[in-house]
Structures are given as structure tokens and as C-alpha cells.
């Protein structure tokens, strides 16, 4: 029997590296990680992070939100896990992901994820699963976001208060 391949879609700067570390450290899971630099981006925190890294040259706030809204529409169809929810109850969310991916849940990930290095993404700076502190968004950026027609629907699609 040939092994089955499953896809896990994640946007850059969305907490996917931590989730992938946990999932990839489970017995019987082989995780292949790839980053595509032109995927649509998510949320104000991610926008600020990408902007600080100078990865958004030539991408307007409106284009950013339009791309993210298209990706969010796909997420609604296939299901998604928000990073901040994952941090509150990693076992529950990993069990759910494992069910959806049809792979066995391995509670041993709890001791192995911090040493799992076969992944692209951020380098591990903390050995805890916890939410990151929200970034402060300048008032003028928030005003610009709120004027974009994709902002409010996008926030509602993903369960955030606009």
C-alpha cells in the first residue's frame, strides 16, 4: 500500500511553523515543509510583520486583504485552526487536525516538538506553546484597513471582531 499524502495549508507569519513542529514530531508522520513567498497574507499582525521584514514592497493594503480573503474562503471550505486557539488547547486541536488528515494522534509530540528541526519557518525561540503578543498597529493603518471592502468580511469569516 502506498502512503497517502495530505496537504496542510498555512500562511506565512500565522503560527503554522509551531503547529507543523507539533504535527511533524508525531510518530508515523513525515512532514515536508515549503514556503511560497507570494501566498496571500493574514491579519494585521502578519501584515505588520511582513512589512517590517520588507516583504510587501509594491503590495497595497487592499491587495493584501483581497488575497487573504480569497485564501480565507478556501479555509472555510476545508476547515482551519486559528493559532491563538491552538495555543490554548494544543492537544484538542492536534487531535482534530489528525482526524481531518486521517493520521493517528501521538501524544508523544509534547516532548518531541521542541527538537523537531526538519521544517522551514521561524527558528524556535521559546520552548512553550503560547500565543504571541499582539503587535501595535498604527492608527492610520487601522483606518486604511477599515476602509478596504475586504476587511470586515474577512474578519467575520475567520471569527475576529473587526
pLDDT tens digits for range 36-72 = 444 444 466 666 666 666 656 677 888 888 888 888 8
- Answer whether residue 11 is part of any domain: no
Judge whether 24 lies within some domain. yes
pLDDT of residue 40: 44
Sign of the CA dihedral 127, 131, 133, 135? positive
Q: Is residue 7 part of a domain?
A: no
Predicted pLDDT of residue 42 = 47
Provide the residue range defining the domain that includes 63: 16-157
pLDDT digits (tens, 9 = 90+) for 76-98: 888 888 888 999 999 999 999 99
Q: What is the DSSP letter of 114?
A: G
Residue 96 in domain:
yes
C-alpha cell at 83: 493559532
Per the domain annotation, does 77 fall within a domain? yes
Q: Is the pLDDT of residue 144 over 70?
A: yes
Domain count, the chain: 1
Percentage with pLDDT > 90 across the chain: 20
> Does 6 have pLDDT greater than 90?
no
pTM: 0.73
- Residue 102 CA from chain centroid, whole number: 20
- Is residue 145 a part of any domain in this protein? yes
Burial 31-53 (b: 16+ CB within 10 A, else e): beeeeeeeebbbbbbbbbbbbee
Mean pLDDT for the chain overall: 80
Look at 31-35, 58-62, 104-108, 123-127 and tell me which has the smallest mean pLDDT.
31-35
Q: Does residue 4 sit within a domain? A: no
Q: Which range, of 79-88, 104-113, 133-142, averages the lowest pLDDT?
A: 133-142
Q: Is residue 122 part of a domain?
A: yes
Amino acid at each position: 500500500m502506498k502512503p497517502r499524502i495530505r496537504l496542510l495549508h498555512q500562511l506565512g507569519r500565522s503560527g503554522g511553523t509551531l503547529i507543523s513542529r507539533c504535527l511533524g514530531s508525531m510518530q508515523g508522520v513525515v512532514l515536508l515543509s515549503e514556503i511560497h513567498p507570494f501566498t496571500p497574507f493574514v491579519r494585521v499582525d502578519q501584515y505588520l510583520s511582513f512589512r517590517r521584514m520588507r516583504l510587501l514592497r509594491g503590495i497595497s493594503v487592499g491587495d493584501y486583504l483581497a488575497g487573504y480573503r480569497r485564501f480565507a474562503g478556501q479555509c472555510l471550505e476545508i476547515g482551519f485552526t486559528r493559532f491563538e486557539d491552538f495555543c490554548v488547547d494544543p492537544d484538542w486541536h492536534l487531535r482534530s487536525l489528525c482526524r481531518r488528515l486521517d493520521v493517528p494522534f501521538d501524544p508523544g509530540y509534547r516532548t518531541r516538538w521542541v527538537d523537531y528541526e526538519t521544517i522551514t519557518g521561524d527558528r524556535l525561540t521559546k520552548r512553550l506553546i503560547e500565543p504571541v503578543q499582539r503587535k501595535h498597529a498604527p492608527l492610520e493603518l487601522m483606518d486604511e484597513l477599515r476602509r478596504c471592502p475586504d476587511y470586515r468580511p474577512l474578519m467575520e469569516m475567520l471569527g475576529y471582531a473587526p
